[in-house]
């Protein structure tokens, strides 16, 4: 027998322990009427260390079913896996088809957090037959991290085991401890059984099962009917979402109606989650017969399909998609082609500032086009930007001067708006020159900006070039010497600041498109060698 097989055999005999439990009239001191039907849910710890046991259970599940059948028991099986509390999942609803159960055991183990209490709660939420013994079998080699983080979850899980006349069987393979959390849990419920033994020997395993089965057996004459205790019992009588398809950042509402159908008052904790996170949490005291409606506003920032749960029970699915803004709600308010001259194959930026003038947030598609004729441009690329209602953003497309377009003038446009033009140097024309621009092209008083000179060398040899950035033509300013290789360009940046505002200060950030169009503007001029650069300074609203 391989090491994996030896470790996994313990899981197989854990299921035979369930058979032994079913064959008894009384379990762990609790008198329970015997039934020839059993609904058994395996609650499996899916962390990495449990993979050998998953494989063994999958291999031998058919033999387990044969054992149940030989004892005349009508059994159904389900499977819940758990790790983190949000990663608890029903992998197989209760079924008599062992082939389906075997297929559901095809999953990858991962992680290192074990939240068994969440797994038990999820198992108890499954659809059981009224006349079947309800048995939850937890298979794990670790403690319950969920209880360590939130004891209320553990207490609720154990209370439901008793309230719903269920049996809790816990099995800890390959554990070298005489006790763990699950051992304690089985002692706290009315019907519980825990087993922990070395899996190296088949004889040892069989002996443990025989011993525990005989310990749990009670003669018919010793049976008594335990008095039923009063307890709250909560049913979800309605659950829905306001919409199954929503846009990103759009709020939808989940509705859950819960009724206390028990005989005493109690606290219901509504916990709405998806696979990644907790979305809503609220506790409400409910008297017997009283109901409460929970409404949770939820929104998502990313498109996806989300599966919502209420206390580990499926609530609904919601598909989140991106909203595309209509063209009429996207206004072009600024435009810029920073370079006026580029070399063939050189990269340069084409920019446009757009505003969402509509009432909804969404994505705007900005189509950049270029050509030698403004009336006959060709689509080049789409750039996408997310805009809240009233928000403005600058969208930049990085263009490359086509070598086949050398010696031409390229005009850029977005829809029917011309952004500017750039000349592509003739590749056969040896030139060394300077192009210049400011970033950004429009600023507020005291705002910083850059004046950039780009030295291009379309010649066949390297050159040394002097770059002078000054506020006046011919004046000595910020002076630099740069070496520029053949067919290369070098950017020289000079940082500066717009002048102070006049007495009637003005905040550009609080203006809308119409107000911006009617603001007072002044111009600052810079010179990069012989290239003139103008910067617009918005000083306030016009009278």
Pairing of strands 432-439, 463-470: unpaired
Q: How confident is the model at residue 92 (pLDDT cuts 50, 70, 90)?
A: very high
Residue 70 has pLDDT above 60, yes or no: yes
Q: How confident is the model at residue 179 (pLDDT cuts 50, 70, 90)?
A: low
Residue 541: predicted pLDDT: 54
Short-list 529, 348, 476, CA closest to 424: 348
Token digits of residue 326: 């209509």
Return the higher-pLDDT residue of 319 and 216.
319
Domains 234-321 and 430-543 share a fold: yes
Burial of 288 (0-12, 13-18, 19+ CB in 10 A): middle
Q: What is the CATH number that goes with domain 3-218?
A: 3.40.50.410
Digit-coded pLDDT (tens) for 328-383: 899 998 888 888 888 888 888 899 999 999 988 888 999 999 988 888 889 999 99
Other beta carbons within 10 angstroms of residue 82's beta carbon come to 31
Give the orientation angle of helix 3-22 with respect to helix 51-70, to 10 degrees.
40
455 contacts 487 by C-beta, under 8 angstroms: no
**Residue ranges of domains in the chain:** 3-218, 234-321, 323-428, 430-543
Digit-coded pLDDT (tens) for 184-194: 888 888 888 77
Digit-coded pLDDT (tens) for 432-456: 888 888 888 888 888 899 999 999 8
Digit-coded pLDDT (tens) for 138-175: 888 788 876 555 677 788 889 899 888 888 888 777 65
Rounded Cα gap, residues 163 and 159, in angstroms: 6
Q: How confident is the model at residue 204 (pLDDT cuts 50, 70, 90)?
A: very low
Q: How confident is the model at residue 26 (pLDDT cuts 50, 70, 90)?
A: very low
Q: How confident is the model at residue 241 (pLDDT cuts 50, 70, 90)?
A: very high
- In DSSP notation, 92-113 reads EEEES-HHHHHHHT------S-
Short-list 311, 49, 21, 25, CA closest to 168: 21
Rounded Cα gap, residues 201 and 300, in angstroms: 53
Sign of the CA dihedral with 510 first, then 516, 522, and 527 last: positive
Rounded Cα gap, residues 509 and 515, in angstroms: 11
Query: Which phi and psi angles does 204 have, rounded to 5°?
Result: -60, -45
Return the higher-pLDDT residue of 50 and 291.
291
Q: Which CATH superfamily is domain 430-543 in?
A: Immunoglobulins (2.60.40.10)
Residue 211: predicted pLDDT: 42
Q: Which CATH superfamily is domain 323-428 in?
A: Immunoglobulins (2.60.40.10)
Q: Give the DSSP H/E element, type plus range, for residue 61.
A: helix 51-70
Residue 214 has pLDDT above 50, yes or no: no
DSSP type of residue 404: G
Residue 251: predicted pLDDT: 94
User: What is the share, in percent, of the chain residues with pLDDT greater than 70?
Assistant: 78
Residue 149: predicted pLDDT: 57
CATH classification of 234-321 is 2.40.270.10, yes or no?
no
Taking the whole predicted model, whether its pTM rises above 0.75 is answered as: no
Average pLDDT, the chain: 78
Residue 496: predicted pLDDT: 92
User: What is the share, in percent, of the chain residues with pLDDT greater than 90?
Assistant: 20
Rounded Cα gap, residues 529 and 338, in angstroms: 17
Digit-coded pLDDT (tens) for 107-139: 887 776 788 888 998 999 898 988 888 999 888
Residue 311: predicted pLDDT: 75
Q: How confident is the model at residue 85 (pLDDT cuts 50, 70, 90)?
A: low
Of 4-13, 249-258, 409-418, the least confident: 4-13
Q: How confident is the model at residue 463 (pLDDT cuts 50, 70, 90)?
A: confident
């Amino acid at each position: 027998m391989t090491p994996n097989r030896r470790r996994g055999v313990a899981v197989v005999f854990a299921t035979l322990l369930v058979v032994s439990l079913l064959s008894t009239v009384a379990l762990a001191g609790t008198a329970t009427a015997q039934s020839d039907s059993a609904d058994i849910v395996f609650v499996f710890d899916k962390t990495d260390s449990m993979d050998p046991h998953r494989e063994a259970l999958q291999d031998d599940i058919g033999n387990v079913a044969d054992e149940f059948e030989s004892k005349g028991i009508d059994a159904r099986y389900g499977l819940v896996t758990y790790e983190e509390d949000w990663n608890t999942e029903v992998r197989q609803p209760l079924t008599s088809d062992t082939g389906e159960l075997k297929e559901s055991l095809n999953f990858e183990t991962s992680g290192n957090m074990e939240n068994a209490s969440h797994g038990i709660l999820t198992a108890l939420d499954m659809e059981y037959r009224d006349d079947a013994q309800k048995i939850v079998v937890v298979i794990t080699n670790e403690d319950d991290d969920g209880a360590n983080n939130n004891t209320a979850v553990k207490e609720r899980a154990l209370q439901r085991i008793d309230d719903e006349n269920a049996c809790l069987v816990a099995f800890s393979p390959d554990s070298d401890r005489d006790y763990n959390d699950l051992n304690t849990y089985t002692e706290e419920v009315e019907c519980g059984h825990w087993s922990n033994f070395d899996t190296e020997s088949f004889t040892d395993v069989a002996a443990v099962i025989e011993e525990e089965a005989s310990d749990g057996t009670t003669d018919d004459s010793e049976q008594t009917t335990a008095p039923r205790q009063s307890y709250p019992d909560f049913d979800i009588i309605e659950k829905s979402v306001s919409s199954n398809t929503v846009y990103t950042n759009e709020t939808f509402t989940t509705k859950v109606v819960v009724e206390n159908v028990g005989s005493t008052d109690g606290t219901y904790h509504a916990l709405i989650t998806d696979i990644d996170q907790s979305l809503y949490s609220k506790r409400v005291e409910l008297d017997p017969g009283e109901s409460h409606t929970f409404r949770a506003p939820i929104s998502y920032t990313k498109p996806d399909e989300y599966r919502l749960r209420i206390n580990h029970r499926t609530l609904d699915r919601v598909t989140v998609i991106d909203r595309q803004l209509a063209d009429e709600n996207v206004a072009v308010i600024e435009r810029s082609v920073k370079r006026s001259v580029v070399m063939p194959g050189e990269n340069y930026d084409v920019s446009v500032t757009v505003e969402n003038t509509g009432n909804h947030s969404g994505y705007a598609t900005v189509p950049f086009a270029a050509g030698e004729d403004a009336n006959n441009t060709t689509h080049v690329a789409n750039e996408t930007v997310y805009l809240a209602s009233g928000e403005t953003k600058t969208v930049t497309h990085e263009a490359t001067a086509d070598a086949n377009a050398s010696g031409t003038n390229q005009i850029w446009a977005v829809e029917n708006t011309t952004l500017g033009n750039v000349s592509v140097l003739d590749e056969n024309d040896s030139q060394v020159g300077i192009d210049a621009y400011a970033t950004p092209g429009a600023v507020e008083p005291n705002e910083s900006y850059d004046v950039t000179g780009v030295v291009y060398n379309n010649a066949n040899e390297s050159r040394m070039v002097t770059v002078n950035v000054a506020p006046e033509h011919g004046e000595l300013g910020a002076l630099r010497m740069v070496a520029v290789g053949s067919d290369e360009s070098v950017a020289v940046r000079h940082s500066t600041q717009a002048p102070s505002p006049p007495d009637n200060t003005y905040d550009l950030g609080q203006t809308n498109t119409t107000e911006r169009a009617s603001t007072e503007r002044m111009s600052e001029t810079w010179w990069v060698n012989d290239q003139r650069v103008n910067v617009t300074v918005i000083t306030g609203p016009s009278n």
